[in-house]
Structure 1
Amino acid sequence: MGHVGPYEWAPRGHSVEKVAYIHQMLGELRQVAFAEGADMLCYRIEMVYVEAGDIQSGRRPQSFVKRDENKPAGMPV
């Protein structure tokens, strides 16, 4: 993939559409948190929303680390 911003990167098995979907869902979750008066939750969702937007626009790479070394904790969702 060519240069898409200050970083050169290619999503690893993730499409631009999936990141756009995540960004959209975070926006909706932020509205729900705001309506419920959950200020800290709203703030944290906003931080992730901004990061997803940066990834979507190419201003930030999807990851700074190797995926094999930093696996998720396996928390139930």
Structure 2
Amino acid sequence: MHQTATGQRKIATLEYVHSMLGQLRMMAEKERCPMLAYYIEMAFIEAGEVVRSESASVQPRKK
């Protein structure tokens, strides 16, 4: 149970980071900072991959 609660908290935190990166990317694009927007986009993509990976590892396995 503890592992699942800890995993769910981690996923929630990572989802928040992913969301914030998306917002930061839009802000950088709006201010015409293409290189900054690019780097934030790379972090956004990586955060999404980590969320998917963590979500898959926390899912209860079916018997």
TM-score (norm 2): 0.70
**What displacement does 1:30 show?**
0.2
Match of 2:30 in 1: 35
The alpha carbon displacement at 1:49 in A equals 0.2
Q: State the Cα RMSD in Å.
A: 1.8
Q: Deviations over 1:6-30 (max 9, x none)?
A: xxxxx6xx61000000000000000
Matched, 1:47 2:42: yes
Identity of aligned residues (%): 38
Q: Secondary structure at the match of 2:32?
A: coil
Query: Structure 2, unaligned stretches of length 5 or more?
Result: 55-63
Give, as a single letter, the amino acid of the residue that structure 2 aligns with 1:44.
Y
Ranges of 4+ aligned residues in structure 1 off by more than 6 Å: none
1:4-23 alignment to 2 at 5 Å?
Answer: 15-23=10-18
User: Hey, what's the Cα distance between the residues in 1 that align with 2:10 and 2:44?
Assistant: 17
Normalization by structure 1: what TM-score? 0.58
Q: When the two structures are aligned, how many residues end up with a matched partner?
A: 48
